[in-house]
Structure 1
């Protein structure tokens, strides 16, 4: 399997780059496309469709390719993977049907190959990422290999899109199902955010809405303990929580693992927090502060840990990195991306997400925030 990465700032320019990539006889069957909402991603999709290339696409909150960070651009990875080794699924959903849609995807993956792996992207703002993971596991019937990210829309927080050949939508689930008997798929989701203070209890919640923490309004608790503020618009009940990327909740699992939950919106009247994933009532949590720069070293080290040996390489790398990492690390973010790529020494494409899907370092599938999820592909 061969992979080529290209980038451009217009539909016309990306068409030229594709033509250049295939001029030597290279015949891609699959395109991984990550594009800013500022770009005409529909035209790009139409162009790839005419070339009979299968599309796995998502809009972004920033893009990167081979260690270089882009903004407002199109990045693409072209692969000549055998069409018999993968299957593309696009399923429309809603906030009320997320779990059932994800169950359907899990069942589809189970039937697709004896040993499938899923790389997914989800659109929409209010989709509960944890229901995506839970649904896939339920539909699959056991623990499956799942990695991916939530689409972005350049921090507008209105309509992130996923797209494939002749299909696109915000509230949708896109999945690249790969035959792991033919393609080795391995990855890891890792974070580095620092927990502070004592453990607290979520005393009232419903899905991804946290109403009270230690019997006090959740929004007031977060503002008090972290010293942050939320701009209240008297004309709006639901308001964006712009600081949420920096100060997420750390949710403690019974198995000793922790996952991050970003509080993307606040309800100014109910004084509640609306998270990107479920926070069960009774959960133990801690507040978080942005990581120190040594978190980059932790991410690189943990990404290297999934290799069988130091010399092992990949044919292609896909990276889903939370936009919070870019906001927190600034120019140093390119260092993390470049170092992770160097671990595998392979072409890389990725984007800054609104949430990440993947196995934690203890091996369980989770929906994450503020994490870096790396997927390495290698034909057997």
Structure 2
């Protein structure tokens, strides 16, 4: 595997212009929405790598090496020796649920020789749990799936998915990796700390939370946030919920996507099943950094060697909390 990495910022390429690895089969690109909408920039990348699939999404900050950038476009070209690729994009329409979208995408992937699936999804109006459930329902159990939801800073307006050089808002892309030699591992840890009592989820629908302990969820959430409640939904990124699942000793973190003042409800990035318990969470600087380090160690264990390529996926909530210390997370 050969790698070429560069970034576009302040109207110039650094450390070099794209195209040295012109035979690359894959180009990953992550950037702010405004840059992804610049067709001349995407066309330049396409022309530099004529045989490559272009896959990427908008972000709330771009990771390049050990730095976290803003208002940039980070590009990584990859040349594989013995790996084939096949990608599928689905444009979301009314009537198609996230679960159904996941099913349709998985069904379009050839399963023979498949070793890994990378998924990038729209970041607003999405139920990540349903999407993953739909995908894995039609994938062999040994196939690993990694990826993330696209971002747009703290605006919560429009996120973009790029496939073959075309940015679109309402879409999801999966990329299948086919190889006998490619090794893929992953790790994921949080670092948030819980506070307050456990609350029973007494009314919800999918990823929309209506009531905790038979009380409206949004007023209770605002009470815990205090002065931060004025900045919702953006400030909700600082206070995710911890979902306590009966089949796992590890709690699941649910990040807020939006609030509905009329219904007094909160929409999260994943399911909030009735009958389960939830706790409020808040930031702990050291634990967030330790979580990133722990995730890296977890991903290292299966392969026992330094990877040729590492794709780091964080969230805007962690970035808002860590602020100037955000580089510590990446360096860790």
TM, length-normalised to structure 2: 0.90
Q: Distance in 2 between matches of 1:52 and 1:43?
A: 18
Cα separation, partners in 2 of 1:4 and 1:14, compared to 1, 3 Å: same
Q: Is the aligned partner of 1:34 residue 2:30? A: yes
- Residue 236 (structure 2) pairs with residue 244 (structure 1): yes
Q: The residue matched to 2:51 in structure 1 has which SS?
A: coil
Instruction: Pick one of 284, 292, 298 that aligns with 2:285.
Output: 292
1:45, 1:165 within 8 Å by CA — same for their partners in 2? Answer: no
Partner Cα distance (2:322, 2:237) in 1: 12
Q: What RMSD in Å do the two structures reach over aligned CA positions?
A: 2.4
Match of 1:164 in 2: 163
Instruction: Choose from 33, 40, 44 the match for 1:43.
Output: 40
Aligned to 1:200: 199
Count of residues paired in the alignment: 327
**What is the aligned partner in structure 2 of residue 102 from structure 1?**
102
Q: Distance in 1 between matches of 2:24 and 2:32?
A: 23
Report the counterpart of residue 329 of structure 1 in structure 2: 322
Following superposition, which runs of at least 4 residues in structure 1 exceed 4 angstroms of deviation?
Answer: none
Normalised to the residue count of structure 1, the TM-score between the two structures is 0.79
Give the equivalent residue in structure 2 for 1:13: 13
CA gap of 1:18–1:61, structure 2 versus 1, over 3 A, is same
TM-superposed CA distance for 1:136, in Å, is 0.4
- What CA deviation, in whole Å up to 9, does each residue of 1:300-333 have, x standing for no partner? 1342133248961111111111111111111211
User: What pairs up with 1:128-139 in 2 under 5 angstroms?
Assistant: 128-139=127-138
CA contact 2:288–2:329 (8 Å) conserved in 1:
no
Whether the 8 Å CA contact 1:107–1:139 is kept in 2: the answer is yes
Q: Give the Cα separation in 1 of the matches to 2:15 and 2:39.
A: 13
- Structure 2 unaligned spans of 5+: none
Change (3 A) 1:216 1:312: same
Which residue of 250, 257, 273 maps to 1:257?
A: 250
User: Relative contact order, CA 8 A, sep 6+: which one is greater?
Assistant: 1
- Asked if the contact 1:222/1:228 (under 8 Å) is kept, the reply is no
Change (3 A) 1:150 1:302: closer
